Each structure stands twice: as C-alpha cells, then as structure tokens.
A and B are shown apart, each in its own frame.
Chain A
Amino acid sequence: MSTSADTIDEFVSSDYKYGFITDIESESLEPGLNEDVIQFISAKKDEPEWLLEWRLKAFRHFEKMENPTWPHVKYPPVNFQEISYYSAPKKKGDGPKSLDEVDPKLLETYEKLGVPLHERARLAGVAVDAVFDSESIGTTFKEDLAKAGVIFCPISEAVREHPELVRKYIGTVVPYTDNYYAALNSAVFSDGSFVYIPKGTRCPMELSTYFRINAANTGQFERTLIVAEESSHVSYLEGCTAPMRDENQLHAAVVELVALDNAEIKYSTVQNWYPGDEEGRGGIYNFVTKRGICKTNAKISWTQVETGSAITWKYPSVILQGNNSIGEFYSIALTNKAQQADTGTKMVHIGKNTRSTIISKGISAGKGQNSYRGLVQVGKKASNARNFSQCDSLLIGNKCGAHTFPYIEAKNPTASIEHEATTSKIGEDQIFYCNQRGLETQDAVNMIVNGFCKEVFRELPMEFAVEAQKLLDVSLEGSVG
C-alpha cells in the first residue's frame, strides 16, 4: 500500500481537449514590434487616422514603461520582438460576406469547441462572435439583434461602421497609460467585440464571444468595448481556448464596460486557455485589464471561471462613479499543474451609497499557485459606501499554494467594509470518508470543489453554469491519485 501523502500529490496529466491545431493557411506578420507593425495593423483594418494616432501614442508610452513585477507570479521576461502581432486566416478574394462563405475548416474548429456557428446548429438564445487569432470570423444573429437596435460586431467593423461611438468611449475606462499591458494592447489590438445597447433596451439574447488562439508565436490582443445606454440591460459571456504548444503565448486583452444611468451589464468569463504541462512548459500568459464604469444607479457584475492559462494576471474592476451604483465580482480561479494566478478585483467607490460585493474562490492543486489580490477604495465623497468581501482558498495536496492580498483604502468615515477569508484543504480523511461510502476519489474531489464554488456558479447564466462545472471537473482530472 502506498502512503497517504503520495496519493493526494500524485498528479496525472489531464488531457486538454481543446489542444488541437487547425491546419489553415494564415497570413501572419513577421515577429517584431515597432511603429511599422502598428501602421500595418491599422492599414489592414482600414482604420481612420485618429485611431492610428491613438495607437502610436500608446506605443510611445509603452516604450517608456516597465514590465510590472508586483504580481505574485514568476516567469522569464517576455521578448516582445519574438511575437507576431497579426495573424489571420488567409482570405480568398474579398473575404467572406456572411457565415456561409467562411472557410469550412474554421466552422469545423468552432464546432469541435462546442460553439457551432452555422444556421442549423446555432446555440439557442445566444449570439456568438467568433474571434480566430487576430480576426473575427463571423457573428451570429446579427439581424435579429439589429431589429432591437443592438449592435454586436467585431470591434474592427465597429470602427468602420460606428466610428463616433467607438471614438467616444474607447480608452475612457482603461486609458492606454493605465498599465504596461494595457498600453501594449492599445498599440497593437487586433480584434474583439463591440456591443452597444440603446437606451431603455433589454438585449433580447445572451451575447458571447469565443476567442481562439491558433497560430504559433502570435499574441492575441483583443479589445472589447461594451456600452449600455441609460436603463438598458445586457448579459455577455466570453470563452477562450488555445492549442497545446510548448512555447508560451501572450494574450493581453483590454475590456471596457460603460454602464450609463440605471443600466446593467453582466459580464461572465469562462477562461480555458491552454494551461501548459506539469513542468510549466507552454501555456498562455493571460495578462488582462478589465474595468467597468457605473453611472448613477447602474450595476456591473463580473463573474469569472478561470481554469486555464499558465499565468493569469487580471483584476476585473468597477468604478462606482454614480450614486447608488453597484459593483460585483464573483470569481473561481483554479490552478493545477504548474499554473500561477494572481487575480482579484478593484472596487472604487466614488459616488454616495455605492455598494460592492466580492466573492472569490481560489482552488490550488498540483504545484499551482493562486493569489487573490483585491482593492476596496472608498473616496472622500462616497458616504455610506458598503463593501463585503469573502475570499476562500481551497488546497488540494501539499505542493500548491494560496495567498491573499487584500487592500483597503477608506477616506470616508461612514464607509462599511467587511472582509472575510478562509483557507481549507481537502484532507485525506475527507477523501477516505467519501471512499468509505462508495465514492471514487475523483468524484469526491469534484463534489467538494463544486460545493466550494456554489456561490459563484449561481451567478453564471444557466446555459453556462453546467458547462463551467464540467470544465472544473475536467481541469481537476488526475488531481488526486
């Protein structure tokens, strides 16, 4: 019989079932980062002059900045000159005008990923924008949405078709000066989704973007902008996967949300980029800036299930500028194998009676390192601001780690801030107890982990909650011997 310690630490590789590569001819830019590259991307996308200017300003700013070292993650320096900043499936002629003209290989790829795009099999009640490397390859249900006045399209298309909207909002929530990777993204962003919900409109269906990295040595730098006009409502979901490769790949996205008076945006993420192997070879560097701004009575809710990526570095945040506005952050972050995650949120209370809730569930298995980092800031004028934070960590085995870095800055004496944190471990005795009742070890672990994450699953749109739960189970496969 083996001893108890090595059973729980014995990690067998779980198969990453999204690790395949689509064999498709693509047009990729030579690796390298300079102003010519930015000119090329901008020209490729037929951008107006102001946007090129903005990109160049961002790039010049980026060059003056340094890679941040404060996150609790370790990785060799990224060589930005070795990355290709543009890769897209080669188009025949003018490129596809509708989904029917899209290369069948691409449609097949999304089908394999469980996101069918063609008419017959479209996900009921969900409109999908499919982004493949640097380009959006198509958006479903566009006409239906247009009837409601909702704009849902690739951001590159929005720049051409709705320049005034993009220009008005881009960079207003996350300026290019914000941080190193936001500056890089602003300079080289390729595609992403744009959403506009008109005043008083409730978006008639879930919107979702599916990001797929395929090409080797390329980075994905998507930019998403969601504008919810007064008294509108939208629920948006993003999913992400990438092939298994031994080299690390960079994904540096920016997401900006604008919720005007009385509007509500619910943004959910199921992130399953390739996590790399047990030794930490390969996997995606997921360095993302996500932030939303709430005007009066508005509400922004972030829900994330982060199971993939070699390194995750992201803090979906809410600026509670308007009085009575609400910010929420619900997060499950799982690190298995050699994954590292430093994730959390910032809730910035500026308006009066603003409220925020933070529920973070970190699961560490294998040699995974999981950090929660959160800032609750209450400004001078934010009287009666309230925050509740709950950060729980669950450890599986003895080689992983969990860390919490909560920061509180309150400048208004009427603020009420509550912070609770727990760390627990799936113990040998719990597993044995379950085994003794006839349950397999893996089922026992899944049961315990799912129980641990319940509060967050509840926040996901129904269609995705089941999916996310399965994903968590798969990601934990082999996490115990």
Chain B
Amino acid sequence: MLEIKNLQARIDEKQILKGINLSVKSGEVHAIMGPNGSGKSTLASVLAGREGYDITDGEVLLQGNDILEMSPEERAREGVFLAFQYPVEIPGVNSTYFLRSAVNQIRKHRGDEELDAMKFLKLVKTKMKELGLAEEFLKRPVNAGFSGGEKKRNEILQMTMLDPSLAVLDETDSGLDIDALRIVADGVNRLKNQNNAQIVITHYQRLLDYIVPDFVHVLYDGCIIKSGDKTLAHDLEEKGYDWLIKDS
C-alpha cells in the first residue's frame, strides 16, 4: 500500500525529516508516537503534499505510484486522506456543499457517478447516524465556530464519506472527551478493511485500546528510532521516551 523510503525533508533550511523508512500493507493499522516537535505532523503534511517543504531525498510510493510529484488534490483523489491536527475553519462555505463537492471530485476520479443533492444527503445522514453526529453540523460553515472536539469529529465524518485507501490521523484523539474518542475510534474501525490502511499519530496509549494497531513506531528527531507491536505503546506510556532516546 504505502512505501516510504529514506524520506528527508526540510523547511526554511531546517532539516526536519532525516530519513524515514516505513512500509504499510493493506489491512494494517500503524501508530506513530513520539515527543513534541519530533516531526510527526511534518511527515503527515509531506505525505499529503502541503507546499513549503523541500524534499531533499527519498521516495513515497502509494500502490506503486510515486506520489511526491502529485499535487495535494491528486493525492487526495488517489485515496490519501489527512485528518488534521488543527482542522481549518472556512467561514461562509456551507459544510454540506463543501463535503458534496469533495465527495464528487473523488467519485469522478474513480469513475463513479456523481451524487446529486438528494442522494448525497441520504448517504451523509446515514453515516452521521452511525457516528452519532448531530445533523445540525451540516448547516454550518465548515468548522467555523466548531469546538475543538467538534472539529475532530467532523474530520472523521469527512474521512468516512471520502472512503480513503490511506488515512493519516494526526492527533485526532487530542482534546476529545470519552464519547468523542469512541466516535473517532469507531469511525476508523468501520472504515478499516483489507483494501485500506490507517496511520494513527497519537501521544496516548488510550486511543490504541480502541484502535488496535498492528505496529507502533517511535519518531524522534526526524527518524523512526524504534518499531514494535502494540505492547510498545504500553512501554512508552509507562517509561516515557528517555530510555529509547539514550539508546539511539
């Protein structure tokens, strides 16, 4: 599914990713943990194609295709979804209209028929019910005035609607109450199947009780310094990062 080889990236002359290697197969869930400022969000942004980064080395293959040459919208249409650590507010733009446009762009790319307003509404309402989200969300402008937790839930709704092959969730659990945490985990678990994969960036082991990862990686200073199974997350919760950093 995803093959990251020796990925190096810098911003404003500052080297942030210093050679990341990661291989994610279909059907897998990978968790990425690591101290603040270690480069987790940068990795997510580079995967999604945010401008402003200098890719100095390495490659990223999605289903065998080099995605580094693609524009962010092309990557999105190819199935890359990023749940933002800080979802962006777009005042004036109606959530329903926004989401329908996005869904239809992606459907068009996949060769599926575009959804008219009625069909879309029916689909989105079903998905919202499954996620336990209030329909009132749809009437408001995208993320505008949403609480922190509402924004994160909205990311999960978008993910559900867009049905990505690779979803990257950047600290989607931060700032969530227990119910919202379940909604997020539920969204991921429902999405999960043998043809897609998820990368979950988090600081907390508790999310991983709900979304059980196949692998856990520790990112430190732009490199993956340790990989393991779900027990690694427990060790980190207990001991912090120091013991790993000393080793590396």
| A interface residues with partner B (beta carbon < 8 Å) | 1-4, 7, 424, 427-430, 432-441, 443, 447-448, 450-452, 454
Pair A433/B51 contact, Cβ less than 8 Å = no
Contacts A3-B51, A428-B51, A436-B76; A443 near B101 (Cβ below 8 A)? yes
Provide 24 A-B residue pairs closer than 8 Å at the C-beta atoms, listed in order of the A residue: A1-B51, A2-B51, A3-B52, A428-B51, A430-B88, A430-B89, A432-B50, A433-B84, A433-B87, A435-B73, A436-B48, A436-B49, A436-B72, A436-B73, A436-B82, A437-B98, A437-B99, A437-B102, A437-B158, A438-B106, A440-B105, A441-B73, A447-B98, A451-B92
B55 located at the interface, meaning its Cβ lies under 8 Å from any Cβ of chain A in the complex: yes
Contact with A along B94-110 (1 / 0, CB 8 A): 10011101100110010
CA distance A434 to B97 in the complex (A): 12
In the bound complex, residues from chain A placing their C-beta under 8 Å from that of B99 are 437
Pair A448/B51 contact, Cβ less than 8 Å = no
Q: Is the interface of A mostly helix, strand, loop or mixed?
A: helix
Minimal Cβ-Cβ distance residue in B for A2: B51
Minimal Cβ-Cβ distance residue in A for B103: A438
In-complex Cβ contact of A448 among B81, B90, B162 (8 A): B90
Pair A429/B73 contact, Cβ less than 8 Å = no
In the bound complex, residues from chain A placing their C-beta under 8 Å from that of B90 are 430, 433-434, 447-448, 451
B71 located at the interface, meaning its Cβ lies under 8 Å from any Cβ of chain A in the complex: yes
In the bound complex, residues from chain A placing their C-beta under 8 Å from that of B105 are 437-440
In the bound complex, residues from chain B placing their C-beta under 8 Å from that of A3 are 51-52
CA distance A447 to B48 in the complex (A): 21
Pair B106/A429 contact, Cβ less than 8 Å = no
In the bound complex, residues from chain B placing their C-beta under 8 Å from that of A454 are 92
In the bound complex, residues from chain A placing their C-beta under 8 Å from that of B72 are 432, 435-436
CA distance A427 to B88 in the complex (A): 10
In-complex Cβ contact of B73 among A4, A424, A440, A450 (8 A): A440
CA distance A435 to B109 in the complex (A): 14
In the bound complex, residues from chain B placing their C-beta under 8 Å from that of A435 are 49, 71-73, 76
> What is the distance, in angstroms, from B233's C-beta to the closest C-beta of chain A?
27
Pair B53/A1 contact, Cβ less than 8 Å = yes
In the bound complex, residues from chain B placing their C-beta under 8 Å from that of A2 are 51
In the bound complex, residues from chain A placing their C-beta under 8 Å from that of B58 are none
CA distance A439 to B105 in the complex (A): 7
CA distance A8 to B55 in the complex (A): 20
B35-85 at interface with A (beta carbon < 8 Å): 48-55, 71-73, 76-77, 81-82, 84
> What is the distance, in angstroms, from B89's C-beta to the closest C-beta of chain A?
8
> Of A427, A428, A429, A439, which is in contact with the most chain B CB atoms at under 10 Å from its CB?
A439
In the bound complex, residues from chain B placing their C-beta under 8 Å from that of A7 are 51
B121 located at the interface, meaning its Cβ lies under 8 Å from any Cβ of chain A in the complex: no
B149 located at the interface, meaning its Cβ lies under 8 Å from any Cβ of chain A in the complex: no
Which 7 A-B residue pairings sit nearest by Cβ, starting from the closest? A451-B92, A435-B72, A437-B102, A438-B105, A433-B88, A438-B76, A451-B93
Query: Given contacts A438-B73, A452-B91, could you give 6 more A-B pairs where the C-beta distance is less than 8 Å?
Result: A435-B73, A435-B76, A436-B72, A438-B77, A439-B105, A451-B92
Pair B88/A438 contact, Cβ less than 8 Å = no
> What is the distance, in angstroms, from B144's C-beta to the closest C-beta of chain A?
10
CA distance A430 to B106 in the complex (A): 19
In the bound complex, residues from chain B placing their C-beta under 8 Å from that of A438 are 73, 76-77, 102, 105-106, 109, 162
CA distance A451 to B48 in the complex (A): 26
CA distance A438 to B163 in the complex (A): 12
B19 located at the interface, meaning its Cβ lies under 8 Å from any Cβ of chain A in the complex: no
Contacts A433-B87, A448-B90; A439 near B73 (Cβ below 8 A)? yes
> What is the distance, in angstroms, from B241's C-beta to the closest C-beta of chain A?
29
CA distance A427 to B158 in the complex (A): 21
Q: Is the interface of B mostly helix, strand, loop or mixed?
A: mixed
Interface size on B, residues (CB 8 A): 35
In the bound complex, residues from chain A placing their C-beta under 8 Å from that of B55 are 1
CA distance A365 to B52 in the complex (A): 21
In the bound complex, residues from chain A placing their C-beta under 8 Å from that of B87 are 433
CA distance A300 to B82 in the complex (A): 50
Contacts A1-B53, A438-B76, A443-B101; A451 near B109 (Cβ below 8 A)? no
CA distance A460 to B54 in the complex (A): 47
> What is the distance, in angstroms, from B98's C-beta to the closest C-beta of chain A?
7
> What is the distance, in angstroms, from A440's C-beta to the closest C-beta of chain B?
6
> What is the distance, in angstroms, from A429's C-beta to the closest C-beta of chain B?
5
In the bound complex, residues from chain A placing their C-beta under 8 Å from that of B101 are 439, 443, 447
CA distance A450 to B94 in the complex (A): 10
> What is the distance, in angstroms, from A45's C-beta to the closest C-beta of chain B?
47
CA distance A322 to B141 in the complex (A): 40
In the bound complex, residues from chain B placing their C-beta under 8 Å from that of A434 are 90, 98, 102
Pair B71/A439 contact, Cβ less than 8 Å = no
Minimal Cβ-Cβ distance residue in B for A453: B92
In the bound complex, residues from chain A placing their C-beta under 8 Å from that of B51 are 1-4, 7, 428, 432
In the bound complex, residues from chain A placing their C-beta under 8 Å from that of B109 are 438
Minimal Cβ-Cβ distance residue in A for B158: A437
In the bound complex, residues from chain A placing their C-beta under 8 Å from that of B97 are 447
CA distance A452 to B90 in the complex (A): 10
In the bound complex, residues from chain B placing their C-beta under 8 Å from that of A450 are 92
Pair A448/B93 contact, Cβ less than 8 Å = yes
Pair A437/B162 contact, Cβ less than 8 Å = yes
> What is the distance, in angstroms, from A51's C-beta to the closest C-beta of chain B?
48
Contacts A438-B105, A440-B73, A447-B101; A424 near B50 (Cβ below 8 A)? no
Pair A437/B93 contact, Cβ less than 8 Å = no
In the bound complex, residues from chain B placing their C-beta under 8 Å from that of A448 are 90, 92-93
CA distance A429 to B143 in the complex (A): 13
In the bound complex, residues from chain A placing their C-beta under 8 Å from that of B48 are 432, 436
> What is the distance, in angstroms, from A10's C-beta to the closest C-beta of chain B?
12
Minimal Cβ-Cβ distance residue in A for B55: A1
Minimal Cβ-Cβ distance residue in A for B92: A451
> Of A1, A3, A443, which is in contact with the most chain B CB atoms at under 10 Å from its CB?
A1
In the bound complex, residues from chain A placing their C-beta under 8 Å from that of B98 are 434, 437, 447
Contacts A438-B73, A440-B73; A451 near B52 (Cβ below 8 A)? no
In the bound complex, residues from chain B placing their C-beta under 8 Å from that of A424 are 91
In the bound complex, residues from chain B placing their C-beta under 8 Å from that of A427 are 88
CA distance A450 to B87 in the complex (A): 21
CA distance A63 to B222 in the complex (A): 73
Minimal Cβ-Cβ distance residue in A for B78: A438
In the bound complex, residues from chain B placing their C-beta under 8 Å from that of A452 are 91-92
In the bound complex, residues from chain B placing their C-beta under 8 Å from that of A443 are 101
CA distance A438 to B81 in the complex (A): 9
